[in-house]
A = this chain, B = another copy of it.
Amino acid sequence: MDLDRLKVSSFERVTRPIEPKDSGLITERLGLLPGHRVFESGVGSGFLTASMARIVYPEGEVVGIEIDTRKLEKARENLEQLGKVYEKSVMLKHGDAREYLEGLEDEFDAMVLDLPEPDRVLEVGLDALKSNGKVAVFCPFFEQVRTVWQVLEDRCTWLEAVELIERKLQVEKRGIRPGRTLGHTGFIVFGRV
A residues in contact (CB < 8 Å) with B:
1-7, 20-21, 23-34, 51, 54-55, 57-58, 82, 84-85, 109, 132, 134, 140-146, 149, 160-169, 171-172, 174-178, 180-187
Contact = CB atoms under 8 A, between A and B. Distances in A.
Copies of this polypeptide in the complex: 4
Given A2-B132, A182-B182, A142 B177 contact: yes
A140 B176 CA distance: 8
A46 to B, nearest CB: 14
Nearest to A179: B182
B171 A162 contact: no
Contact of A141 (B2, B27, B176, B182): B176
Contacts of A32: 3, 54
> Chain A binding site: helix, strand, loop or mixed by DSSP?
mixed
B176 A142 contact: yes
A142 B142 CA distance: 7
Contacts of A54: 32-34, 55
A177 B141 contact: yes
Given A54-B55, A165-B165, A174 B141 contact: yes
Given A24-B24, A182-B182, A185-B178, A31 B5 contact: yes
A106 B142 CA distance: 36
Contacts of A31: 1-7
